[in-house]
A = this chain, B = another copy of it.
Amino acid sequence: MDQAAFAPQWHISEWLNSPAAIDLEAQRGRIVVACAFQMLCPGCVSHAIPQLKAMHELFTPLGAVVVGLHTVFEHHEAMKPIALRAFLHEYRVRCPVGVDAAANDGGLIPQTMAKYQMQGTPTFLLIDRSGQLRRQIFGHISDLQLGAEIMQLLCEPADG
C-alpha cells in the first residue's frame, strides 16, 4: 500500500500516555508517524519499540506526531489494556499509545488494523501533512531508512 491515499481514520478505544484522544484528521498540517505493535510480539519488543521511543524523542520536537497503536490480533486475553499499561511503564514508553478497538463482529482483527489491511506487527505508518498515507511498512525497516523517510515528509511544505 505504497501509493498515496488518504489515511483512514483510526478506531481507538482508549489512549494511554495522552491527556486526550488523538484525532487523525485534526493533525492536518503535521506529519504523523504510527507504529502498530503488540506487546507480546518479540520483533516488536526487540526492534520496533526502541524505534518508537527513538522516533518520539527525535521527531516530536521537530513537530511530528509520533504514536503507538496497540493492534492486538492474537492472545487477546494476555494483552488487555491493564497489561499494556504495565508494559509501557516497564519499557519506559512515554509517547501516546492508542488501543485499537476490538472488531464489532467478534472477529480477531481490531478495527484500525483491518481498515489498513495490516499483515501483522510491527507495521509503521507514515502520514504526510495533507493526511495522505505515504508509506506502510510491515516488519523490519532500518533506523537509517526510517529516519530518512520521516525527514523527507518533514521537509515538505505545510501547504504541499
Contact = CB atoms under 8 A, between A and B. Distances in A.
Interface of A: 40-42, 45-46, 51, 54-55, 58-59, 74-75, 77-79, 82-83, 85-87, 89-91, 142-152, 154-156
| Number of copies of this kind of chain in the complex | 4
Contact of A75 (B40, B51, B90, B156): B90
Contact of A82 (B41, B77, B142, B154): B77
A41 B74 CA distance: 21
A112 B34 CA distance: 41
B77 A83 contact: yes
A48 B152 CA distance: 23
A91 to B, nearest CB: 6
Contacts of A58: 142, 144-145, 148
Chain A interface mostly: helix
Contacts of A155: 151-152, 155-156
Contacts of A78: 82-83, 85-87
Contacts of A146: 144, 147
The 7 A-B pairs of least Cβ separation, nearest first, read: A147-B147, A143-B143, A155-B155, A75-B86, A78-B83, A78-B86, A151-B151
A61 to B, nearest CB: 12
